[in-house]
Amino acid sequence: MLLAAILLLLLIGNWFLTETLVLIPLDFVTQLTSAYGWWAVALVVALFVAWCVGDD
């Protein structure tokens, strides 16, 4: 029973963090202007990948 409760809490936490940290900022950026919003998302993703590769 405890394992089921822990798994449930982890799933709820994962969903909450995904909604608040990933999807809402993406929706906000893409709503600014549709063309420039997607370019901003692509730039942020490229910078993140460059940071990850440069960290090695």
User: Distance between CA 42 and CA 49 in Å, rounded?
Assistant: 11
Q: How many CB atoms lie within 10 A of CB 54?
A: 7
Q: Average pLDDT for residues 3-18, to the nearest whole number?
A: 85
Whether 24 shows a pLDDT value over 70: the answer reads: no
Query: pTM here?
Result: 0.41
Q: How many CB atoms lie within 10 A of CB 3?
A: 7
pLDDT digits (tens, 9 = 90+) for 26-55: 667 666 666 677 777 788 889 988 888 886
23: which DSSP letter? I
